[in-house]
Chain A
Amino acid sequence: MGNQYLDTGWFMIVLTLVMVTLILFNISRAHGGKDLYIRRISGLNAIDEAVGRATEMGRPVLMVPGLSASVNAKTMQAINIFAYVTRVAARFANPIMVCCADATVLTVCQEVIRDVYQQEGLADQYDVDSVRFISDRQFAFAGGVAGLILREKAAATFFMGEFYAESLILAETANSVGAIQVASSTELTQTPFFIAACDYVLIGDEYYAASAFLTRQPVLVGSLIGQDWCKLVMIALILCGATLNSIQQRGMTKIEHKDGKWVDLPKERAVLAKDTFFSHLLKADPEKNIKLDPPREKLPPDQLPTGGPAGGDK
């Protein structure tokens, strides 16, 4: 049994596999033509309105895919949303600006934005400098983007992805030029700042629902429904855990789990949190469930994993 199983045993792995199965199952359902419902998300409905307003004002749309230090799932989601925004902007022939804090993100953004213009048959409208690298230093980036917002008077701004202390600098600067703002941060600590300063905010997993909502691709819609099923599983687990723990802790016990086995207590006592079913389910018992090697000093020399002073040369 490995190092990563010491804390929660097999439970977390099994739970994760269940979730993966639920997501894949729903993706296959959606592929099979099943009509799946997604509720409206006001922040995403506002995208067309924001870009339309920018077109009317003749001012650019500005997008920031966060401060991620590399291309990861969070950044990819931001880029997916920006691809949709760019598509709408391209149809209105509205200029866009994408500000990146990482060179790898810049490269992916450039590719995606160029693809969008080509798909729309407007490759000649694509300006390679519309996607630009600002700085990989947090506040230099904030200063650079704030300067761009003020100079170019962006009419619509989209802040999506990983944001930290610079979130409010960007949002307030955009507010000062009257930009309509749609934002979402994967960092929960920054969400309140966006809520205070922006017009529309995607909270929590609405951010990951965005591409499904915007494109209605079966894979994405199915995945979103799968996520909802996963949440139902989590809710069921929480409810079962709370109910079972509450019931169990009202009772008394004569036995307890100690050193990998159940032992009789000298005297009956109240059931504690550590005696409950869910406590045993979520906390692996290394003595019972996990077969560990004895400490090195207790192993006979021929059973030591050491292969010699050079290591590995047995």
Chain B
Amino acid sequence: MNLFLQVDPKTFWNAPHGSTELYVKLFAAFIIGIGVAVGLTFIPAQLRKWVVRFVTFGAGLFYVLFWIFPRPISRTPTDAPRGAIEGVSFWIADSQPVIMTLTNVIAGFMIGLGIYSLLRVHFAKIAKQQRDWAYSVVLVTSMFLMVVLGYGDFLQRQNPANFGLADEKNWGLINYGKDLLFDGLLQNMDAGMFSIVAFYIMSAAYRAFRARSTEATILLVTALIVMLSLMGVVEFMWSGVIDRISPNNGLVQSLKLSAISGWLKGTIQTPAIRGIDFGVGIGLLAMGLRLWLSLEKTGGEA
């Protein structure tokens, strides 16, 4: 069974799957990771700020280069750079997946903290038998079962000898258990939660579409026109009336619900969304710039 399949075992960052080299590298990377994490805790508080700034700037600089420096066009795996510029271009392109993987590694470390937080809260609730502690028991039990059965099923399916698991007839208790928990319960409960949105839309719309002010009235009328234009029968009947009044007059024809709704969406809604989009994009750029240059003071004084 090979859980460490490598797509392209050619560079320093890879090794042939199942090889001793791969396991040595994994072990070394793990030790280095732990070493770095422990080492960081010994850095004096004043210096820690500068380490964070340095790492943030370095990481940001890489992505700025990745974005600005010309990227290879139609590159094949066997291509070699023909000069310094292409060399840098190839290096950046090759390094990007490794940098991305580093992010995943950090996230991997963090998921442990997430689980710890979850268990801490719910074990405390169970131990003290606080209000609704039974729900915590259900959560911890489901989590434990899902981890055990999910990993059990995953490991079985990774083994090439178990290719028969594609057929339900060859399933065992673990496979049925995982199927029941994931596909039978979790997926359906997800769908159940999602379906609630339909009812919430109705209740929220009922509150929002009340003509309490000029703006709310405009919103109400606009929504009504768009909704009516999407109702086939209403649209058909109204268009019939318009056609009967004046089939060739452009001004009268533009009073069709579909025409008004199209104008609202194309002339009012789309430019407004574009405008907001520009603002959000520029805001994101400024925020990213401040974070990259460590100008942002998170949790600053009020």
Contact = CB atoms under 8 A, between A and B. Distances in A.
Size band of the interface chain A makes with B: 35 or more
Contacts of A128: 120
Given A129-B120, A165-B197, A293-B73, A104 B286 contact: no
Interface string B113-150: 11101101100100000011001000000000000000
10 contacts: A4-B67, A5-B70, A73-B284, A88-B302, A103-B110, A132-B121, A169-B197, A193-B201, A208-B286, A307-B79
B133 to A, nearest CB: 12
Contacts of B114: 100, 102-103, 106, 133, 136
Interface string B69-90: 1111111111111100010010
Interface in A66-88: 70, 73-74, 76-77, 79-80, 83-84, 87-88
Given A104-B110, A139-B194, A172-B203, A217 B297 contact: yes
A169 B193 contact: yes
A103 B288 contact: no
B150 to A, nearest CB: 13
B124 A129 contact: yes
A203 B276 contact: yes
Contacts of A196: 204-205, 207-208
Interface string A108-129: 0000110110010000000011
A219 B118 contact: no
**Residue from B67, B111, B117, B186 whose CB has the most chain A CB atoms within 10 Å:** B117
A42 interface: no
Size band of the interface chain B makes with A: 35 or more
A310 B10 CA distance: 9
B295 A27 contact: yes
Contact of A87 (B75, B275, B291, B302): B302
Interface in A140-168: 140, 142-143, 147, 151, 165-166, 168
B110 A214 contact: no
Interface of B: 10, 67-82, 86, 89, 103, 106-107, 110-115, 117-118, 120-121, 124, 131-132, 135, 186, 189-190, 193-194, 196-197, 200-201, 203-205, 207-208, 273, 275-280, 282-291, 295-302
Interface of A is mostly: helix
Given A2-B73, A83-B298, A172-B204, 9 more contacts: A76-B296, A142-B193, A204-B276, A205-B282, A208-B280, A209-B283, A217-B300, A231-B282, A234-B282
A245 interface: no
Interface stretch (A55-63, A222-230, A249-257, A260-268): A222-230
Given A129-B121, A133-B117, A168-B197, A139 B284 contact: no
A142 B278 CA distance: 29
A197 interface: yes
A165 B194 contact: yes
A76 B298 contact: yes
Nearest to B300: A215
A188 B80 contact: no
Contacts of B296: 76, 80, 211, 219-220
A101 to B, nearest CB: 9
A308 B273 CA distance: 52
Given A115-B299, A196-B205, A143 B282 contact: no
A73 B103 contact: no
Nearest to A4: B71
Contacts of B200: 168-169, 171-172, 197
A214 to B, nearest CB: 7
B70 A80 contact: no
Contacts of A147: 135
Given A139-B189, A169-B193, A195-B208, A308 B78 contact: yes
B123 to A, nearest CB: 11
Contact of A132 (B80, B118, B283, B300): B118
Given A1-B70, A129-B124, A196-B205, A70 B103 contact: yes
Contacts of B297: 217, 219
